[in-house]
């Protein structure tokens, strides 16, 4: 298996900035930009129906950020497995987290951009039993937790 770098993102450092006054709203969409490290900012996108910020989305964002290291580790492992399986050069699977989109009460999409080659991809996560897992790896028939 291809060797991957794990525990490279600490989302918890951004938790203090996850406040309604830091959210930008445009129409029915909201965005908050957060600092993860001296050289890494991240955007988190979520719905804002009628231009209103529902605090449940910030609660969900907090849970995602608290679990972001493990989620990114899952993506890195999945990329390494795909690299070996498909026989591509490891550069094809080197990437950095670009942004997060919260798409449901127990669903988030992590979007990545390639650092070794010009590519972009996303991985969908669902929260099952309090744990975030890649949607493709969830037990067949597993249902998301059902709310934040």
Predicted TM-score (pTM) of this structure = 0.88
Output 117 or 35, whichever has higher pLDDT.
35
* Mean pLDDT score across all residues of the chain: 89
Q: Mind listing the pLDDT tens digit for each residue in 6-28?
A: 899 999 999 999 999 999 999 99
Is pLDDT above 80 for 116? no
At residue 125, the pLDDT reads 97
Which of 109, 66, 65, 119 is CA-nearest to residue 88? 119
Which of 140, 112, 144 is CA-nearest to residue 126? 144
Q: For residue 18, which phi and psi values (nearest 5 degrees)?
A: -85, 75
Please answer whether residues 24 and 31 qualify as being in contact, where contact means their C-beta atoms are separated by less than 8 angstroms: yes
Is pLDDT above 70 for 92? no
Specify the 3-state DSSP secondary structure of 130.
Answer: coil
Distance, CA of 131 to CA of 7 (rounded, Å): 17
Range name among 49-53, 62-66, 94-98, 140-144 with the lowest pLDDT average: 140-144
Is pLDDT above 60 for 98? yes
Q: Mind listing the pLDDT tens digit for each residue in 33-45?
A: 999 988 899 999 9
Is pLDDT above 60 for 148? no
Distances (CA, A) of 134 to 24, 76, 130: 28, 11, 13
């Amino acid at each position: 298996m291809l060797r991957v770098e794990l525990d490279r993102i600490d989302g918890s450092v951004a938790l203090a900035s996850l406040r309604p006054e830091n959210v930008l709203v445009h129409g029915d969409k909201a965005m908050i930009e957060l600092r993860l490290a001296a050289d890494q900012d991240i955007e988190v996108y979520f719905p804002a129906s009628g231009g209103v910020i529902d605090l449940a989305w910030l609660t969900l964002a907090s849970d995602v950020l608290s679990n972001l290291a493990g989620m990114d580790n899952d993506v890195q492992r999945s990329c390494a497995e795909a690299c070996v399986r498909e026989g591509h050069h490891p550069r094809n699977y080197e990437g950095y987290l670009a942004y997060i989109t919260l798409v449901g009460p127990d669903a988030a999409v992590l979007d990545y951009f390639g650092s070794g080659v010009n590519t972009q991809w996303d991985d969908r996560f669902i929260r099952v039993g309090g744990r975030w897992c890649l949607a493709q790896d969830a037990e067949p028939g597993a249902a998301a937790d059902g709310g934040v």
